[in-house]
Structure 1
Amino acid sequence: MLRLFREPRAWSELVTRTLFPSRIHQDNSFTWPDRYPALFTAAQTLLADRAPLRILSFGCSSGEEVQSLRHYFPDAVIVGAEINASLLRACREREVEGPTLFISSRDEVIQAHGPFDAIFCMAVFTRRPHEVETRDMRDISRFYPFDRFAAWARFLASQLTPGGLLIVEHALYRVEDALEGLPFRPVLTHGFAPAKGPRFDPSGMRLASPQLIARIFSRTALASTREPEPPASLLPSKYGEA
């Protein structure tokens, strides 16, 4: 408990968990610069013929990912979205070159700043993965329900331009299960490799390891049917400022 008073970041994580219990995915905001160089480089390669680019870093923590993405996409508009108000303030104080914006991760705010050519969800769609492994969890349906993951994955997917990329690393569920029925295809030439940690099916039951997974998904066309509903129906109607 003393750690909460000694470490402002830990306190901000507790406040965020308390305010938004139904919105939280990963509740640990730890990160570091250039954390996923292989996936950043892959996206850079796949988007080389598209300009100008608009990129979203969903769950950008204290802004290191946004700053790192700037090195790979020097001319892109980069938007960082974060639920933790304390970290969002830290992001806005960070000096990042080029057109950069930090916003709260409310669905309507994200929608207002899109659509995007790439959306990065790195170590966001998970929940205390070390605890999941240490406790050898076999059923996470109550710990981290699939519907919470799927609602946000589908919403973010709907915010992509045709040909846009959804890049997801360190998810407890498979992205293709969430995107079923949407016009997306996995990119098998980049980032297709064994999962780092366990994966679970939509019922929350653990799948046999190892799971070979795609990490990058491309939107193949504009959906002709109704777009996924924003996940606001799962959330409180008011949860912070833009």
Structure 2
Amino acid sequence: MKKKLILGCLLSGSLITAGCGDGSGGSDQYINPYATVVNGEVVQQSVSTAGFKVDGKDLSYIAAFSMENGKVVYSVSNINNDGTFKINLKKNLDYSFVIFDPAGSPVLYVSDGASNVFFIRGETYVKIIVNLDQTGNVVVEKIEHDQNSELKWDDLFKDGDDDKIPDFAENDNDGDGKPDYDEDGDGTFDGVVDKDNDSVVEGSDDTDDDHLPDPIDDDDDNDGIPDDQDPDDDNDGIPDDQDSDSDDDDDDGN
């Protein structure tokens, strides 16, 4: 991956444990003040395996979904073989977490029955403890977290059809006829696909190195002006109303 995140973010719960990093990257000249990091770990209760699997089921990615200004935003991290992950997020938002297998299929919607949302105040630690139910499905046994995150319930974030994707992300908020989590209509969550073949899944791609993944970053050129208010949001010198590549974050023409 071009900017592969070191997995280690933990969600509140026995299934995940990890320590949080500082979210900084020594050589970076700009650190987005809205960025934070969740360090965590996904742990299988009373089971030790070679590589991280639950009953042979690979758990490869963890995604955090949120809604900001009527738009679905998300961030994705790989899950290491030891179950740790590190996911960069925008703080002071509610997030639901979903775990995916290597094929991009959702395996687990992280909820303990009484809570389905993490409110992230800042750098935090989450531990998600999982187990298998009697039918062989991966379920949450317990969630643990520190004081910088809070677990709560929000009907907006529920998974009413039990497909492991939060209902709000399946809506068509932008009116293009496709669910917001799958804008290309291929049936797979866009954030765990490497669409531009840069060895980085789209949900963790950070083209401006400001510690906010592109899908959750509303200031692509780091000039302090949100993209929806910036007349030149990619800072290429061409006003957006004249620039066919205004959504081309890395100015590669794609």
Q: Same fold (TM over 0.5)?
A: no
Query: TM class by shorter-chain length?
Result: under 0.3
Q: Relative CO higher for 1 or 2, CA cutoff 8 Å, sep ≥ 6?
A: 2
Higher strand share: 2
Higher helix share: 1
